[in-house]
Structure 1
Amino acid sequence: MDSKIYLYGASGHCKVVVDILKSNNEKIEAILDDNPKAASLLGIPVIPSADCKDLNSKKILITIGNNSIRKKISKTINSRFHIGIHAKAIVSSFSEIGEGTVVMAGAILNAGSSIGKHCIINTGAIIEHDCFVNDYVHVSPNASLAGGVIVGRGSHIGIGACVIQGVKIGKWTSIGAGAVIIRDVPDFAVVVGNPGKVIKIKVNKSNEKF
């Protein structure tokens, strides 16, 4: 297995992941992008993924913010995915983090929290004790999950949103910026406001199941 790290997706999110890895003096070999718009990003070469030989032997982080695209790409690569944790994040030794997940500066993961695969725990987000965050979730900057919250696969918790203790959020939901969630949220729901109110149920095009 190649010890150097390859990033997949030359996006704005990728820039933040570069900063995460550099905070730990980790070596980034290249950024892979199927439609490269520039030859480099932050001084790191950007190459088409097709030009990377033996991709499945590389250590990779998917640096794409969209949850469903991140999921799709993860299914095409049979590799050991890296985990990126910023040096200024606070992560309990009694927490768990799945492969492909990134934890940004100022984020807090407290004891008993469990984060799935290919998640984004963004800048300043708080994941309290005994929370369970499923795969492909994005917890946005300054969003807070109180103790014992469950977040379903593929959901997006908007910037500054708050979820009270013990709430269960369904899969592939969208929680709006600044929303205050005080009761369980069904699958595929769009929720906004204080207190949070379901304004839409999205069409399940992927036939997702728990």
Structure 2
Amino acid sequence: MKKLFIIGSGGFSKQVIEMVERINEQEETYAFQGLIDDNHSLLGKRVLGYTVVGSTKYLSRLSEEDDIHAIIAIADGTYREDICNKLPKVNWVNLIHPEATLSKYASLGEGIVIGARVIINPDCVIGDQCHINIGSTLGHDVTLSEFVTVMPGVNLSGNVMVGKNSMIGTGASIIQGKTIQDNAVIGAGAVVVWNVEENGVYAGVPAKRIRDSSIVDLGDKL
């Protein structure tokens, strides 16, 4: 089995832990080693019975000596990118919930989390370190660049393209063929009917730019 660490010990780590357990119920795949968090005050914290065992520096040292696998359970794509840069020798796994539907014609990078009841259709391209949360739907030919976060209940129609480090909020919809710029935030429940050509926060129906973006403001870092 693969020695697996989960990076992050906040709320989303609970979903990822349970996903690992569900995957192992179907086939023993991962030997879960514990949680990683750079907040040193959380060392020893327990999440669903599992322990925070160290920081990314600790994991980096382990990866120099052993075949280590990991997944990042942090919603903010900019944090995921920073962590990846710190851990060049870690093997990033893809976690796909057993209740997700993934086309055999879709293409996946590495370090991807796909939640329960997600539907990914043919010729979708999912970049490294993307998170696609519970109940979201990707139509045919959707492209997610690296470090994109798709919150629960999102609907992306066919041929949508989402740029690097963008976040699509809970229940948002993007109509077919639209492009979302890098580092954009689409607010919860927004409906995107035009291309998003400038980064920033977009909200409403139809979605309009309301301010400069700060994914940290809207995303749970852990």
User: Is the Cα–Cα contact under 8 Å of residues 62 and 74 in structure 1 kept in the other structure?
Assistant: no
What SS does the aligned partner of 1:141 have? coil
1:42 to 38, 48, 52: 48
1:39 CA drift (Å): 3.0
TM superposition score normalised by structure 2: 0.86
Decide which structure has greater helix share: 2
Measured in 1, the distance between the counterparts of 2:63 and 2:7 equals 11
1:14 CA drift (Å): 0.8
Matches within 5 A, 1:1-210: 3-25=2-24, 26-35=30-39, 36-37=41-42, 38-49=44-55, 50-52=57-59, 53-56=61-64, 57-78=67-88, 79-202=90-213
The worse-fitting range, judged by mean Cα deviation, of 21-30 and 34-43 is 34-43
TM superposition score normalised by structure 1: 0.91
Measured in 2, the distance between the counterparts of 1:200 and 1:81 equals 34
Q: Which amino acid aligns with 2:62?
A: D
User: Is the Cα–Cα contact under 8 Å of residues 6 and 61 in structure 1 kept in the other structure?
Assistant: yes
What residue in structure 1 maps to residue 217 of structure 2?
none
Measured in 2, the distance between the counterparts of 1:192 and 1:120 equals 21
User: Is the Cα–Cα contact under 8 Å of residues 185 and 213 in structure 2 kept in the other structure?
Assistant: no
Alpha carbons of 1:201 and 1:51: their partners in 2 closer, same or farther (altered >3 Å)? closer
Equivalenced residues, count: 202
Measured in 2, the distance between the counterparts of 1:166 and 1:27 equals 41
- Give runs of ≥4 in structure 1 deviating > 3 Å: 50-53
1:172 CA drift (Å): 0.5
What SS does the aligned partner of 1:5 have? strand
What SS does the aligned partner of 2:128 have? coil
Question: Identity rate of aligned residues, in percent?
Answer: 32
Measured in 2, the distance between the counterparts of 1:202 and 1:40 equals 33
Q: Which amino acid aligns with 1:180?
A: V
Q: Which amino acid aligns with 2:157?
A: A
Q: Which amino acid aligns with 1:93?
A: K
Q: Unaligned regions of 5+ residues in structure 1, if any?
A: 204-210
Measured in 2, the distance between the counterparts of 1:5 and 1:202 equals 33
Query: Alignment RMSD, CA only?
Result: 1.6
Measured in 2, the distance between the counterparts of 1:201 and 1:15 equals 31
What SS does the aligned partner of 1:68 have? helix
CA deviation map 1:108-133 (0-9, x unaligned):
10111111111110000111100000
